[in-house]
Amino acid sequence: MTSIDVQDLTKEYGATRAVDRLTFSVAPGRVTGFLGPNGAGKSTTMRLVLGLDRPTSGTATLGGRPYTTFDEPLRHVGSLLDAQAAHGSRTARDHLRALAASNRIPEHRVDEVLEEAGLASVARRRVKTYSLGMRQRLGIAAALLGDPPVVLLDEPSNGLDPEGIIWIRELMRRLAREGRTVLVSSHLMNETASFADHLIVLGRGRLLADTPMREFIHARVQPRVRVRTTEGELLDGLLKLHGFEAVAGDDGRWTVYDARVEDIGRLTSDAGLPILELAAEEGTLEQAYLDLTASEAEFTASASASASATPAPSQEA
C-alpha cells in the first residue's frame, strides 16, 4: 500500500508562490480528485511529486520515498502529465518498448497496455499521426506499463471521445478497487463526480479541502425537495407548521428548501395528503466547488464569481 504524502510543500517561481505550505496524503484504494481553479498549483504539485521540479521547501514522497530515489520509477508510479510527451517520429509501440526496456518491464506488457488503451490496431503508426485523444490514450498506456501501485493523471479525459471518457472512468475505478493510489486532476466537475471518492481542492497554492466527495457536497449545498400535490394550500400550511420554507412553481410543483425526501414524505403521508410527485434535488459537485472557490480563483471571470448554490434536479425519489 503506497500513499502519496505531501508535507509542508512550497514551490516558488520567482515572485510567484505556486504551491504554498501544502500538506496532504493521498490514500490507496480510492480515486482522489484533485481540483482547483487555473493556476491553483495542481500541475506544479504533481510535478514535484514526480521529481520533475525541486521544491523550494517541504517534501513530496511515495510510500515514504522521494520519486528520484526509484531506479525503475515506472514500476512504482505511472503518470500522465503531458500527452504530447511521446516522440512523434516513433511508433506508439516503439515508444512504449523503450520505456519498458529502461525500467526492466517485461515486453509483453507493451502489447497488454496497447490493447487496454484501445490502440492495438494503430500501435505501429507514428505518434505524430495520432489525434489528441489517441495521444492521451498512449499517455495512459504508458502510465499503466509498469503495473504501478500509484497512478497520477493530469486531465486524463482531455480530447477523449464519449466512449473514451467512459473507458477512463471505469479504468480509474478499477485501479482503485485493486488497491492502487489514484490521483486525478480535472476541471470537469460532472466527470470528477462520476469517478472520485475523495477530493483535494487547492486555491492559490493552498489546501482548501481534503474530504470525501459526498461530505464536500453536503457541507456546501442545501438539499431541496420537489413536491407535487392536488392540495397545494394544505401542503403549504403543513410545511409552514413544521418550519419548512416552500415556494410554489408555475408548473404546480413546490420546492422545499433545506429538506430531505424522507422528512417531507413522512410529513405528507402522516397528514394524508395525496402526493403526485416527490423528488430529491441533491446538490452537485459543481455547485459545491463553485461555492468554495468563487473567492479563490486567480482568473475568475466576473460572471462565474456569482456562483449560486442552486441544486439541479436529480433522480426521482
Ligand X SMILES: Nc1ncnc2c1ncn2[C@@H]1O[C@H](COP(=O)(O)OP(=O)(O)OP(=O)(O)O)[C@@H](O)[C@H]1O
Rank residues 41 and 73 by Cβ distance to ligand X and give the closer one.
Answer: 41
- Minimum distance from residue 19 beta carbon to ligand X (Å): 7
- Minimum distance from residue 207 beta carbon to ligand X (Å): 13
- Minimum distance from residue 51 beta carbon to ligand X (Å): 15
CB atoms within 10 A of CB 158: 18
The C-alpha atoms of residue 204 and residue 127 are separated, in whole angstroms, by 35
User: What are the DSSP calls for 109-152, one per residue?
Assistant: HHHHHHHHTT-GGGTTSBGGG--HHHHHHHHHHHHHTT--SEEE
- Minimum distance from residue 183 beta carbon to ligand X (Å): 13
H-run or E-run covering 193: helix 189-195
Rank residues 16 and 68 by Cβ distance to ligand X and give the closer one.
Answer: 16
Rank residues 38 and 269 by Cβ distance to ligand X and give the closer one.
Answer: 38
Q: In what order do the strands lie in the sheet with 224-229?
A: 246-248, 253-257, 224-229, 275-281
- Minimum distance from residue 185 beta carbon to ligand X (Å): 7
- In the chain, count of helices (H) and strands (E)? 10, 13
Rank residues 40 and 60 by Cβ distance to ligand X and give the closer one.
Answer: 40
Binding site for ligand X (CB under 6 A): 13, 16, 18, 36, 38-44
Residues 6+ away with beta carbon under 8 Å from 217:
282, 283, 284, 285, 287, 288
Rank residues 119 and 200 by Cβ distance to ligand X and give the closer one.
Answer: 200
